[in-house]
Amino acid sequence: MDQDQNTPGYEKLLQLWPEYTSTVALDELRKREYARLDRLGEVYLDYTGAGLYSERQIQAHHALLEGHLFGNPHSHNPSSQRMTDLVERTRASILSYFNASPDEYVAIFTQNASGALKLVGESYPFSPEASYLLTFDNHNSVNGIREFARAHGAGIHYVPMQLPEMTLDEGQMEASLSPARAGNHLFAYPAQSNFSGVQHSLAWIERAQALGWDVLLDAAAYVPTNRLDLSVHKPEFVTLSFYKMFGYPTGIGCLLARRSVLGKLRRPWFAGGTITVASVQGDRYFMAEGAAAFEDGTVDFLNIPGIEIGLDHMQRADVDLIHTRCACLTGWMIEELGSLHHANGSPAVRIYGPGGRGMRGGTITMNFYDPAGRVVDHHRVEEEAARHRISLRSGCFCNPGGGELALSISKTEIIGCFNQPWVQETSRFTPDDFRLCVDGKGTGAVRVSFGIASNFDDAARFAAFARRFIE
Ligand SMILES: Cc1ncc(COP(=O)(O)O)c(C=O)c1O
């Protein structure tokens, strides 16, 4: 009998989410390839932080390295050629996994999603005629692109979100996307929020493109549990980190870029590998074509084949099954946490973002409250969870727009904090300073997230932990 079937509450899960039974293959996968989870008795609920690798992935990668001689790619010696072939095969496997035609897209290896975002930011032709539009709900590595836009005099505009679901307001979006003037205009948004788990419609891609925008889709939090089909939706840029999808290897991300926009990107420098010819005396350089122009120096060649192994693992596990399972666990958890009340009737937990059947993924962000309605410090919750061997996240998850909105911290309050004389003088401001400045309001939240190896027992153990906060 499966561990889940013995866990109290399982019947209710099946009543509410009968489709959970269609995902039992993932229990087999967990037993076979993630045995360490149950052996160690730990509850892992930080899949939005990092996915978990299967033991088979590690063995396959190890066997590959042990069985071959690999050298630095791009030479003509046998060890180099072997490596070049594997790097190129991995590139092709990425395009194929996302159903992206090689005639339409290139896969550029980066260090992580942030590296991919920085590549777009530093190369996009921002100018005083250009603009950068982005949603409040974004990871800091997308927010950071605004500094490239600002440095080149481009207009910067944020689209707000609406509470309580933390979704985009259609009217505001339409108004912000109003037909772009001549020039270059970049719109960036996450397919799934790493703060609230909300999934923003992929239909905005086509809508924005029709109005003259280039679209950057940050898919880092989306692709671990959702299928992204680039033959259906075709943003100019897609960014992601592979460790978030399948845990291993770390240190490799990807920028999927439409070939049609590569021509307008301008690298601010050149490096080994990015040029065809560079001259010292001639003081000129000629950029390479395609992905090579964006990969500085030697790529992480020994780890890159681990990506093909990981993608193969995702295919075998079936991302649609992972999606269904995470949706069921998320729906159950939202209902369960929402039912937690103190003896005086006040709610013990507040969840940010859509309800269980809304447009959302398996990331649930919340705060705990005492019976008087005061927020329980998120650090304390994380520390107590650690004592119960539960791995979760607390803070703002590098998504300040999501945090400011969810925690009702206004622009006036924030500017008031930043404008204090000592901050002006020192140009220093720490999270503790922020907490003191907006005293009485939380400055962070608690996040749990599901993924490839999650089961009902994980969800139930967190719900039991949450009940400890009831007074
Ligand atoms: C939505 C989103 N975008 C970008 C990133 C940045 O990823 P990385 O830290 O791997 O560069 C993250 C990481 O949490 C994320 O969740």
Longest alpha-carbon distance in the chain: 80
pLDDT of residue 275: 95
Atom of ligand 1 nearest to the CA of 398: 14
Q: What is the pLDDT of residue 440?
A: 66
Residue 113 beta carbon below 6 angstroms from any ligand 1 atom? yes
Just give the CATH number of 60-314.
Answer: 3.40.640.10
Q: Same topology for domains 3-51+319-467 and 60-314, yes or no?
A: no
How many Å apart are CA 347 and CA 341, to the nearest integer?
4
Nearest to 88, CA basis, from 230, 291, 294: 291
Burial degree of 48 (CB within 10 A; 0-12, 13-18, 19+): buried
Ligand 1 near 399 CB (within 6 A): no
Q: Which residue has a Cα nearest atom 2 of ligand 1?
A: 220
185 lines ligand 1 (CB under 6 A): no
Supply 198's token pair: 């909300």
**How far is ligand 1, taken at its centre, from the CA of residue 50, in Å?**
9
- Which residue carries 């009998």 as its tokens? 1
Q: How far is the CA of 229 from the centre of ligand 1 (A)?
A: 20
Provide the pLDDT for residue 182: 82
Instruction: Assess whether the C-beta atom of 199 lies below 6 angstroms from ligand 1.
Output: no
- In this prediction, residue 2 carries a pLDDT of 65
Q: What is the pLDDT of residue 7?
A: 82
Within 10 angstroms of residue 1's Cβ, the number of other Cβ atoms is 5
Q: Which atom of ligand 1 sits closest to the CA of residue 111?
A: 11
User: Is CATH 3.90.1150.10 the classification given to domain 3-51+319-467?
Assistant: yes
Q: What is the predicted pLDDT for the residue at 9?
A: 86
CB of 112 sitting under 6 A from ligand 1: yes
Token readout for 458 is: 């994980």
Helix (H, G, I), strand (E, B) or coil at 69: coil
- CA 243 to ligand 1: nearest atom: 10
* Phi-psi map region of 445: left, alpha, beta (phi>0 left; psi -120 to 50 alpha): beta
> How far is 440 from 454, CA to CA, in rounded Å?
35
The 10s digit of each residue's pLDDT in 418-453 is 999 898 889 898 888 888 888 767 779 999 999 999
Full-model pTM: 0.96
For residues 138 and 120, give the distance between their C-alpha atoms in angstroms, rounded to a whole number: 15
For the segment 348-380, what is each residue's pLDDT rounded down to a tens digit?
A: 999 999 988 889 999 999 999 999 999 999 999
pLDDT in tens, 62-78: 999 999 999 999 899 99
Q: Hey, which residues are catalytic here?
A: 398
Query: What's the one-letter identity of residue 56?
Result: R
Is there a cis peptide before residue 400, judged by omega within 30 degrees of 0? no
Q: How far apart are CA 276 and CA 150, in angstroms?
A: 31
Tokens representing residue 58 in the block: 């590690």
pLDDT digits (tens, 9 = 90+) for 387-424: 999 999 998 889 999 999 998 888 998 899 899 989 88
CA 399–ligand 1 middle distance (angstroms): 10
CA 318, 324, 330, 336: dihedral to nearest 10 degrees?
Answer: -130
Residue 180 has pLDDT above 70, yes or no: no
Domain boundaries, the chain: 3-51+319-467, 60-314
* Atom in ligand 1 nearest the alpha carbon of residue 192: 1
In 263-367, alpha helices (H): 305-317, 319-338
Residue range 294-306, pLDDT digits in tens? 999 999 999 999 9
pLDDT single digits (tens) 132-159: 999 999 999 999 999 999 999 999 999 9
